[in-house]
């Protein structure tokens, strides 16, 4: 379990470092073109997320996302597959701490104060709807792959979905409470004002529920041998 928690901490930290760091770089390279900034930011995120899933998936399953971990626990609570309640708490704590650490690291790399609270407000109904859609789609992609036995393509599919959702959702697809919290610690292109964080997280949780309902509608209840998301990994507990 210690290895799994380290992998979740490290993976979430590096994911937020990629998101925030590439956002800062995009602002530096393309200061007058917001569309180009988003393209640069989303491209780095797609590649970074895919690599992190490939590298750390065999250790922890590469959740890097409390919503995914919650869905894993909920789906497997009757069959005994997936996270236990105690393991879920450990995963979520590691992910949130990793998200904060990743933002602090990105700030430091670009010679900014370690913690610079974001001043970018993101509190509107249409943005919350965007987060519901983004998170529901992410859960749908991950658990459809799991239930159909195609987790080998998860790095490509998950990275590709997030990259697309940057562009087709109004919120630019945070789709992750740990990443959302981390992004509040950086007053840069990828930031979100702390006051806007609760609304985003609530929308993400709603999206997670909708995503699981859709998965169950498509595949029914999971069987006892259903693999773990995102990448099945050996039991090291």
CATH class of 2-219: mainly alpha
- How far, in Å, CA of 166 to CA of 195, rounded? 22
- How far, in Å, CA of 106 to CA of 164, rounded? 24
- How far, in Å, CA of 6 to CA of 8, rounded? 5
Q: What is the pLDDT of residue 168?
A: 97
The alpha helices in 61-149, defined as continuous H runs, are 66-76, 85-109, 125-147
**Domain residue ranges in the chain:** 2-219
pLDDT single digits (tens) 102-160: 999 999 999 999 999 999 999 999 999 999 999 999 999 999 999 898 999 999 999 99
pLDDT single digits (tens) 193-215: 999 999 999 999 999 999 999 99
Please check the confidence at residue 234 and state whether its pLDDT lies above 90.
no
pLDDT single digits (tens) 60-84: 999 999 999 999 999 877 666 778 8
Please check the confidence at residue 227 and state whether its pLDDT lies above 80.
no
pLDDT single digits (tens) 16-41: 999 999 999 999 999 999 999 999 99
């Amino acid at each position: 379990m210690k290895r799994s928690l380290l992998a979740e901490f490290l993976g979430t930290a590096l994911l937020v470092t990629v998101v925030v760091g590439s956002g800062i770089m995009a602002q530096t390279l393309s200061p007058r073109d917001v569309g180009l900034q988003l393209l640069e930011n989303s491209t780095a995120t797609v590649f970074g997320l895919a690599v992190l899933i490939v590298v750390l998936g065999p250790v922890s399953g590469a959740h890097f996302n409390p919503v995914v971990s919650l869905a894993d626990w909920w789906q497997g609570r009757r069959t005994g597959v997936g996270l236990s309640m105690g393991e879920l708490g450990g995963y979520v704590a590691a992910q949130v701490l990793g998200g904060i650490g990743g933002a602090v690291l990105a700030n430091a790399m670009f010679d900014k104060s370690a913690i610079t609270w974001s001043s970018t407000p993101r509190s509107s109904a249409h943005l919350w709807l965007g987060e519901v859609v983004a998170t529901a789609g992410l859960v749908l992609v991950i658990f459809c792959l799991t239930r159909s036995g195609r987790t080998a393509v998860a790095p490509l599919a998950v990275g590709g979905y997030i990259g697309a959702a940057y562009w087709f959702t109004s919120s630019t697809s945070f789709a992750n409470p740990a990443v959302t919290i981390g992004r509040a610690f950086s007053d840069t292109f990828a930031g979100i004002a702390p006051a806007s964080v609760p609304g985003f997280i609530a929308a993400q949780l709603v999206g997670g529920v909708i995503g699981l309902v859709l998965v169950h509608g498509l595949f029914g209840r999971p069987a006892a041998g259903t693999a773990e998301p995102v990448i099945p990994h050996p039991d090291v507990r």
